[in-house]
């Protein structure tokens, strides 16, 4: 991971008018724009509604919102992220990586390397306590816990679609029903 920087990867997009309907992230200093598929959007929507109901004022959640990471080479806007109840916005008006209690990413076939490798490594290095990869093509969620500075997570648990997904947070657990998550027939 690149040394801590006061610069944000998102600064390169300052004043740029981005087209709607695309997910924009920065990986290894490259701006990546990808369209979101219908299945991805439905999973995010169904999970977001459940997360919002369960948080009830004990933290916040984001969906496709810029988060500042400790490197000017990475600018991620997680599909879903649970923010700590004590978190405050920085001078840029954004949350930072250490404010996140959990990140949930819905894998797309075109962007699997980012979710399974690059984001996995960065989120672990940053100490994000829980990283959940939701894979509609395999109809499974993988919950990663125990982040290691070496860029890996100590533990993982697979939860097939149809079973409840338990997301352990500080002092509470979110339970997300996955029975209505659409499987990507691919």
Domains, the chain, ordered by start = 18-176 (3.90.1570.10)
Distance of CA 118 to the CA centre of its chain: 12
Tokens of 173: 């657990």
Using DSSP, state whether 58 is helix, strand or coil: coil
Residues of the chain with pLDDT under 70: 1-38, 72, 109-115, 185-186
Joined together, the tokens standing for residue 140 give 């499974």
The CA distance from 181 to 134, in Å, is 10
pLDDT score recorded for residue 2: 40
Q: Say what the pLDDT of residue 114 is.
A: 64
**Alpha helix positions (H), 5-134:** 38-55, 112-113, 119-125
The contacts of residue 182 (CB under 8 Å, 6+ apart) are: 39, 42, 43, 136
User: Residue 1: what pLDDT?
Assistant: 43
pLDDT the model gives residue 152: 95
Categorise residue 64: left if φ over 0, alpha if ψ from -120 to 50, beta otherwise: left
Strand-pair partners of 96: 68
């Amino acid at each position: 991971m690149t040394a801590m920087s006061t610069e944000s990867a998102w600064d390169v997009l300052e004043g740029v008018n981005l087209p709607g309907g695309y997910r924009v992230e920065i990986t290894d200093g490259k701006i990546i724009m990808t369209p979101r598929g219908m299945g991805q959007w439905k999973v995010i929507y169904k999970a977001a509604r459940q997360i919002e109901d369960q948080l009830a004022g004990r933290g916040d959640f984001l969906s496709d919102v810029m988060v500042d990471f400790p490197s000017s080479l990475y600018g991620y806007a997680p599909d879903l992220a649970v923010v700590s109840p004590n978190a405050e916005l920085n001078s840029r008006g954004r949350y930072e990586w250490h404010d996140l209690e959990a990140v949930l990413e819905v894998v797309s076939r075109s962007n699997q390397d980012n979710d399974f490798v690059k984001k996995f490594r960065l989120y672990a290095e940053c100490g994000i306590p829980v990283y959940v990869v939701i894979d509609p093509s395999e109809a499974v969620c993988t919950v990663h816990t125990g982040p290691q500075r070496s860029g890996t997570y100590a533990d993982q648990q697979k939860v097939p679609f149809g079973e409840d997904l338990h997301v352990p947070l500080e002092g509470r657990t979110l339970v997300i029903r996955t029975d209505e998550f659409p499987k990507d027939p691919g």
